[in-house]
Amino acid sequence: MTEPALSVVATGLTGEFHALGVLDWPDLHPARHLGLLYRERDERVLLTVALAVRALRAGSVCLDLDRVRAGLTGRDDELVEVPDELWPTLPEWLDALAASPLVALGPAGDPARPLRLIDHKLYLTRYWQQEEQVRVTLQQRATSPSAPPPRQLDEWLAELFPGADVDPDQRRAVAQVATEGVTVLAGGPGTGKTTTIARMLALLVRQGVRRIALAAPTGKAKTRLEEAVREAARDLPRDVAASVEQLGASTLHRLLGARPNARPAFRHNRDNPLPHDVVIIDELSMVSLTMMARLTDALAPHTRLVLVGDPDQLSSVDAGAVLSDLTQAAWLGTTRGGPVVRLRRNYRFTGLLGDLAEAIRAGEAEQVLGLVTAGQPTLTLTPPNHAHDALRARVVTAGRAIQAAAVAGDAAQALRLLDGHRLLCAHRHGPFGATTWARRAEQWLRASGAVIGAEGEWYAGRTVLVTVNQPDWGIYNGDTGVVLTDTGRALVHLGGTTRPLSPELLGPTQSLDALTVHKAQGSQFDAVTLVLPDVESPLLTRELLYTAVTRAREAVHVIATPEALRAAVQRTARRASGLRDRL
């Protein structure tokens, strides 16, 4: 790690942690500001505030004082050892927090204080309120008396699930949506989540429900949801299939009516709830606690909520692990075993990739190593020092094909080819980061003779990932596209849209030459190459590996040492949260 530039406001304990690289500018300034505002001078309390902010930036909803020492990382995501003498003991830490004017104690503590201590977990009050909003809304819906089933329910289910070989989990989920206030549908790739959604929609149409919303966290995910539901609708009875096919999806931001730079930030909230009778959210693993709180706040009392996703995937980029918490909670107070329905039977993600995904999910490291070293061309493990030639060939082949289609003016073909091969990384920066590998991929394309940059920044064949929402133009974070030129003018064609757009309308973008695994969530590719970091990296987790592998339809190529791959399978991500325990 390079020597950090020390902050002039970092003194005492916070200064020590800053010098070690554990705390950074975004952590220090809130702690200093709150200390001045509330006249708090206890260094143990100010350190805890800074660590709580840091925990949020790392994806946790709160700071777990019992586990705060484990897995601390520095500015380059490397592990940092903090000398024992710098840590307060837990009893004195808790006593200092209990005496602080910054900290409210327990659920009933002063709501005006900026932090809240619940047992050994310290929250910023806003995130405690968000977690409580989600918990109360879901628990009320899960524990309230169910609506009586329609008289024709068994008849409708028999129509939607004909034959003897019926998936009992899918059937239960579809039946549940007819009567319950909340349903959580969990399953891995190929378990029939979209098929189940389509049958839920058919049952709701039979039930006379018309105001139904379908949404997903990103533009890419909502497009895939629309396409998958329409495809699944072909197997439904004809008289309901048309109604299901006509249902469009939106991003979660658009559903809630995002209003950039306005207050309130979303048009729909408890004072102006969503007008829908049923709301179905796909890819819930990508939804942060803050967005989940926004959603639950905007639900009308009668609205049924269906939450769908794969709980073994990476959690959202922002703080929270909502789907993981919901699927692991005991759902206290429910009389029907809770709202979670897990799909176990796999219909599509089978063969080598299916075996690999299941071995990763189960934590079977030796089985994973055996699969990737068995000599199969669609499943390989290559050491980092021998990876360039094979990866270069894949990157150049895919990139040249996209550029050829773009130069020929074939936008549809260029967009199809975008999902052919994707290079994924665990880190954003550094030798194993997406930034480094994207630069390397561009160099390989240039060396291959591809015309890159001759027409300026927006050349034909440039790939584009949208990174901010632009709701006025129907553009959302996660949308992908490719640049074509029309009489010398660059236009970006985005998947799922009907008209090309000027690059100036997109806001910040990045290329698709290499992405973090997080940014690939909600997408599928024919082949995936995954670059894993060294074994010491705390980002090396089972969830990251599983998410990357399940992005592929046909082939997975892992660039890593056997030791790093083994560590990834054995190490699980740990985000601090209170939602699971309190449900």
Place of tokens 């959202």: 316
Instruction: Assess contact for 543 and 315: CB atoms under 8 A.
Output: yes
Q: Is the peptide bond before 264 cis (omega within 30 degrees of 0)?
A: yes
Give the integer Cα–Cα distance in Å for 415 and 461.
10
Phi, psi of 52 (to 5 degrees): -65, -40
Q: From residue 236, how far is each of 197, 199, 230, 342 by CA, in Å?
A: 12, 7, 10, 22
Q: Is 481 marked within a binding site? A: no
Helix ranges (DSSP H) in 148-306:
153-160, 168-177, 193-206, 219-233, 238-245, 252-256, 289-297
185: which strand partners? 308, 341
**Measured between alpha carbons, how far is 253 from 267 in angstroms, rounded to an integer?**
10
The annotation status of 187 as a binding-site residue, yes or no, is: yes
Within the chain, what is the greatest distance between any pair of CA atoms? 72
Q: Is there a binding annotation on residue 192?
A: yes
503 is in an annotated binding site: no
Structure tokens at 503: 């690059």
For residue 541, what is the DSSP state?
-
The structure tokens listed for 338 are: 């809770």
User: Is 74 labeled as ligand-binding?
Assistant: no
Cβ-based burial of 436 (10 A; exposed 0-12, middle 13-18, buried ≥19)? middle
Is 145 marked as a binding-site residue? Answer: no
Side chain identity at residue 333, one-letter code = G
Q: Please calculate the CA angle 394-514-322 and round it to the nearest 5 degrees.
A: 125
- Cα–chain center distance at 252: 13
| All residues at 6 or more sequence positions from 440 whose CB lies less than 8 Å from its CB, including other chains | none
| Cα–Cα distance measured from residue 369 to residue 364, given in angstroms and rounded to the nearest whole number | 9
**Residue keyed to tokens 């819906």:** 141
Annotated binding site: 187-194
Annotated binding site for ATP: 187-194
